[in-house]
Amino acid sequence: MAHDALDAAFFQHDVRRVARALIGKTLVSRWNQQRVSGMIVETEAYLPRGDSASHALGGPNRKNASMFGPAGHAYVYTIHARHCFNIVTQNPGIPSAVLIRAVEPLGGIGWMQTRRNQEKRELLTTGPARLCEAFAIGRQLDGVRLGRRRHIWIEHDPDIRLAAKAIRKTERIGVTSAQRLQLRFVLRGNRFVSGPRSLG
């Protein structure tokens, strides 16, 4: 029950290292007395330099400001009328973030089904916008620090230990530039990973 919550120091490393390390961790949301949790099974890294797909390209603006803020805070953006949840890394001064693309539902599945208006577990949290809806993550969390006393945080279960080969590295999903970069990390074989099966 009382698993350690990851603190800011965890997120102050290279974004690729953090993206890989987040696989197998537990994402927890508590909102309106409703606790929801899931094991992270898919992430993507967005680099501070040389990454034409990063929202930080071109410098800070009103929309991407959180990417330039402190590590361990949320960066929530809107795309196609939906939300996506990132965790800022390496900052200050190095705008980078990890996109959480999919989790395996663990607790509060009934809340997820209600919020998603969807019964099938495979359709609750397989995709960045789907999991945001299931975890009640919206723009109001943009720039907010993660923590156990907040709306959202990440826990480490010491019983979950993944072998290096359990994590697969692939190209990112849906990115229209810089596609050759291998910046997506997935838990190999997990059925809650999003995207084409060939990249699972």
Partner DNA sequence: CTACCGATTGACT
Partner DNA sequence: GTCAATCGGTAGA
**Using CB under 7 A as the criterion, which residues of the chain lie in contact with DNA when the complex forms?**
44, 46, 53-56, 61-64, 67, 75, 77-82, 84, 86, 97, 99, 116, 118, 123, 127-130, 139, 172-176, 194, 196-198
Minimum Å distance from CB 22 to DNA?
A: 13
Minimum Å distance from CB 200 to DNA?
A: 11
Minimum Å distance from CB 101 to DNA?
A: 7
Report the residue number, 123 or 166, with the smaller CB distance to DNA.
Answer: 123
Minimum Å distance from CB 196 to DNA?
A: 4
Report the residue number, 93 or 158, with the smaller CB distance to DNA.
Answer: 93
Report the residue number, 73 or 172, with the smaller CB distance to DNA.
Answer: 172
- The secondary structure of the chain, three-state, reads CCCEECCHHHHCCCHHHHHHHCCCCEEEEEECCEEEEEEEEEEEEECCCCCCCCCCCCCCCCCCHHHHCCCCEEEEEEECCEEEEEEEECCCCCCEEEEEEEEEEEECHHHHHHHHCCCCHHHCCECHHHHHHHCCCCHHHCCCECCCCCCEEEEECCCCCCCHHHEEEECCCCCCCCCCCCCEEEECCCCCCCCCHHHC
Report the residue number, 26 or 194, with the smaller CB distance to DNA.
Answer: 194
Phi first, then psi: what are they for 141, rounded to 5°?
Answer: -95, 0
Minimum Å distance from CB 159 to DNA?
A: 29
Minimum Å distance from CB 30 to DNA?
A: 22
Q: Could you give the CA distance from residue 185 to residue 194 in angstroms, rounded to a whole number?
A: 11
Q: Which two tokens stand for residue 21?
A: 């390390």
Tell which residue, 118, 98, 101, has the closest CA to residue 109.
118
Report the residue number, 160 or 179, with the smaller CB distance to DNA.
Answer: 179
Report the residue number, 139 or 157, with the smaller CB distance to DNA.
Answer: 139
